[in-house]
Structure 1
Amino acid sequence: MERIVVQPVGTVVGGRAEAFDDDWNVEKALIRLDGTRFGPEALAGLDAFSHLEVVFQFHLVDPSSINTSARHPQGNPDWPKVGIFAQRGKNRPNLLGVSRCRVVAVDGLDIHVRGLDAVDGSPVLDIKPYMAEFGPQGETVQPEWATELMRTYY
């Protein structure tokens, strides 16, 4: 396959210094756009949205810990072994995270957010406003272990 190269559009500033599960909804951080590539006009109108979808890189993951097979989510042996693409763990082949978070404010090149499950210093690869119409169409289904895992995540 052809290699894809992306350049971060910004960086996560603040919030947690390291990734650990649970209680992400209390985290406040900001996404600071790269001022050499963007001006405040790149964020014009973003404050009219309540939520964002943020694509970021798990930059603190040791490449030797990348998992491409099945494992117990969060290392919990009570949950079934599932493949890396059937879970949202950080030790992924391309180290990409996708998160939805609340927009608190937009100020110049800074987007103040709450509930972003990325850590301080994470490169932000893309930012999109969340629109309800891009949410799932129809009923969603997930296994019980996923519901249990997410019970205290946010």
Structure 2
Amino acid sequence: MTEQFVCNPIGRVSSPYKEKGDAPAQGREKNLVSRIIIDPGFAGGLEGLTVGQQIFVLCWFDRSARDGIKVHPRGKMENPLTGVFNTRSPARPNPVSLTLVTIQEITDNILTVCGLDALDNTPVIDIKPYSGKIDEPMQA
């Protein structure tokens, strides 16, 4: 059974990464600055965010492949094929990315962040605060 959902972007990324090959496998590998331009209708949702705060940015990787269920981790053919759900590959059935970034500046409806790995003009679908109490691994 195929069920469909509607997911509307809350904004777009303005990024130094213009082409697929430009972006690092993980944003923190280059730690460059990007901007998230929030649509004015969602700008009120930024209230309470602060400079220096870490947030998760969820994007829709609209230029990623969606046809595979197994990938070579980090796109390296020498790595054995593994299930996509055991990787951070952008090639997945639903190309939702989750990236932890640090807010550098907030101006009106624009967040300047460090560590985002999204291509320029990538749709942003949500933002959530990082919380060490919740997001750090549970003790065994």
TM-score, length basis structure 1:
0.77
Q: Secondary structure at the match of 2:50?
A: helix
Does 2:131 correspond to 1:115? Answer: no
Change (3 A) 1:138 1:53: same
Does 2:45 correspond to 1:42? Answer: yes
Matches within 5 A, 1:54-65: 54-61=57-64, 65=65
Q: Secondary structure at the match of 1:46?
A: coil
Alpha-carbon distance in structure 2 between the residues aligned to 1:22 and 1:80: 17
- Give the equivalent residue in structure 2 for 1:8: 9
Change (3 A) 1:49 1:4: farther
TM-score, length basis structure 2:
0.84
Alpha-carbon distance in structure 2 between the residues aligned to 1:46 and 1:76: 37
- Give the equivalent residue in structure 1 for 2:34: 29
Higher mean C-alpha displacement, 14-23 vs 82-91: 14-23
* Equivalent AA in structure 2 for residue 58 of structure 1: F
Q: Which stretches in structure 2 are left out of the alignment for 5+ residues?
A: none
Over the aligned positions, Cα root-mean-square deviation in angstroms equals 2.0
* Equivalent AA in structure 1 for residue 139 of structure 2: G
Change (3 A) 1:87 1:67: farther
Identity %: 28
Change (3 A) 1:23 1:88: closer
Count of aligned pairs: 134
Q: Which runs of 4+ in 1 moved over 6 A?
A: none
Alignment check: 8 A CA contact 1:67 1:84 kept: no
Alignment check: 8 A CA contact 2:9 2:124 kept: yes
Does 2:56 correspond to 1:53? Answer: yes
